[in-house]
Chain A
């Protein structure tokens, strides 16, 4: 079945270090991927997106890498800050307006 999965449920990093959150997707036909950040009690917040005709896209302190060969997506956060602590979801487009979300990875930033 269709699914987007995350490799690690929890990632703990030291403040100032770089963080890498991974995601595997199953639908090789997916052409659009998004990373969301969700803080406790809030809705998902858009971080960055990438279309399948790209391998890499950079934002402010964040980079998304897409490897279509192995159906893998990653989010890199540079110089991780305490405010980055949240649950991170990858999502792929599932057709007709549907986003398919993974289970999420909790990022804990230690001071």
Chain B
């Protein structure tokens, strides 16, 4: 176990709704990254948060947004849900953030189904 926790484990939403996913980073880690993993695919980078600021972003539309809190936990928010947003959403924590790439440790993920 990595110590990275995510909630909820599973979620069902309908098109157009909004969803918030949560992540608690591993103790001592100040950087959180979010990934989307479609069935049968590798994870795709959404964005990373370091010191409560977005540190990098992948090719995802603005309706994907995030937050990081002073305790380094993080939220991923997705607005106007689409069917293609159905996926496993993974959170990974690492330390330190900023310039250097450090090993990212993943949580168990949140399985989102959009109907």
Contacts and interface: CB of A to CB of B under 8 A. Distances in A.
A35 to B, nearest CB: 11
Given A44-B90, A102-B42, A104-B42, A97 B105 contact: no
Interface residues of A, number: 26
Given A97-B56, A97-B101, A98-B48, A103 B108 contact: no
Contacts of A95: 56
Contact of B109 (A43, A99, A103): A43
B109 to A, nearest CB: 5
A34 interface: yes
A30 to B, nearest CB: 10
Interface of B: 2, 4, 31, 33, 35, 40-45, 48, 50, 55-56, 58, 90, 92, 94, 97, 101, 103-109
